[in-house]
Amino acid sequence: MTRRAAAAVFFLALFASGCATPRTARPPTAPVSAPGGGLYHTVERGQTLYRIAKTYGVTVQDLKRLNSIRDAGQLEVGQRVFVPRAGGAPVIPVIHAPSSGVGESIERLQRKVGPRYSYSRWRTITVHHSATRQGGAKSFHRDHLRRHMGGLFYHFVIGNGSSTRDGEVEVGFRWKRQIKANRPLDIQICLVGDFSKRPPSEAQFESTVNLVKILSAHYGIPADGVRRHTDIRGKHTECPGRFFPFQRLVSRVSE
């Protein structure tokens, strides 16, 4: 196989491997000493630059300057951060947003979704999972740009408490511009999580129910127009995973 052919196979495998693949979380990693003093800290899920700086007794500004970090909120799991003058390997607490189990309200989501766009003719809603343990609209957008997909491939992303609050709905640029993500007339919703292993949180599920209800009402989408990624003919995937309660979603939306 030529080098070019091998590269083509690699990229095809990337597209077939899941709905979204931001940087994969690594096992907990102890800080590594750096020559000349200081150490390298590997970012774990839920850690912030502020918490890292506070724990090691350095400033956020020093960490941003030494690591060429422009936005303190853009840390990624697995990223190595150089910490100057650090002595020791303290455990940095991981902060997770508590799950209320109620998701985003209809009223709040109506403001996010906006009014019915009379020029849009949406006909179906497809539900995905990210097939990852963490992530959000920003990290998926960067990943989809790297994969030459034109940026975030979903209209809405529903968080699981890793990058955004559990059940928080992020609105993608494709919805704001009312443009397709993949298939014409198809609204794409992605829940963060791997539902081949465990079900979504109750907050995620409730947000999904409320979001689908609003979109269905706006564009006259019937219950049989709400589907899973795996329901699309020719798609060899189990997305959004065997633990996603799809029939429960359809039942709730039909109420």
Same domain, 177 and 116: yes
CA quadruple 162, 139, 175, 239: dihedral, nearest 10: -70
- In this structure, is residue 96 part of a structural domain? no
Of 15, 48, 83, at which residue does a domain stop?
83
Q: pTM to 2 decimals?
A: 0.65
Same domain, 73 and 155: no
d(CA 92, CA 78): 14
Select the highest-mean-pLDDT range: 25-39, 58-72, 100-114, 193-207: 193-207
- In this structure, is residue 4 part of a structural domain? no
DSSP E strand stretches across the chain: 32-33, 39-42, 80-83, 124-129, 156-158, 169-171, 186-191, 226-228
- Between vectors from CA 105 to CA 74 and to CA 252, what angle results, nearest 5°? 115
Q: Indicate which CATH number applies to the domain containing 53.
A: 3.10.350.10
Q: Does the bond joining 199 to the residue before it have cis omega, within 30 degrees of 0?
A: no
pLDDT number for residue 1: 54
| Across 71-80, 184-193, 213-222, least confident range | 71-80
d(CA 173, CA 249): 25
Taking only the tens place, the pLDDT of each residue in 146-177 is: 999 999 999 999 999 999 999 999 999 999 99
Same domain, 128 and 196: yes
- In this structure, is residue 122 part of a structural domain? yes
Instruction: Give the model's confidence band at 222: pLDDT under 50 very low, under 70 low, under 90 confident, else very high.
Output: very high
Taking only the tens place, the pLDDT of each residue in 40-78 is: 888 887 678 877 887 777 888 888 888 888 887 778 888
Q: Is the pLDDT of residue 26 over 80?
A: no
Of 50, 83, 116, at which residue does a domain stop?
83
pLDDT number for residue 16: 43
Instruction: Give the model's confidence band at 24: pLDDT under 50 very low, under 70 low, under 90 confident, else very high.
Output: very low
Same domain, 37 and 118: no
Decide which of 250 and 23 is more confident. Answer: 250
Parent domain of 48? 32-83
Q: Indicate which CATH number applies to the domain containing 205.
A: 3.40.80.10
Kindly report the backbone phi and psi dihedral angles of residue 112, in degrees, each rounded to the nearest multiple of 5, phi listed first. -70, -45
Same domain, 130 and 248: yes
Amino acid occupying residue 1: M
Question: Domain total for the chain?
Answer: 2
Same domain, 67 and 161: no
Q: What average pLDDT does the chain have?
A: 83
Same domain, 70 and 154: no
Q: Is the pLDDT of residue 23 over 70?
A: no
Could you count the other beta carbons within 10 Å of the beta carbon of residue 152? 26
- In this structure, is residue 150 part of a structural domain? yes
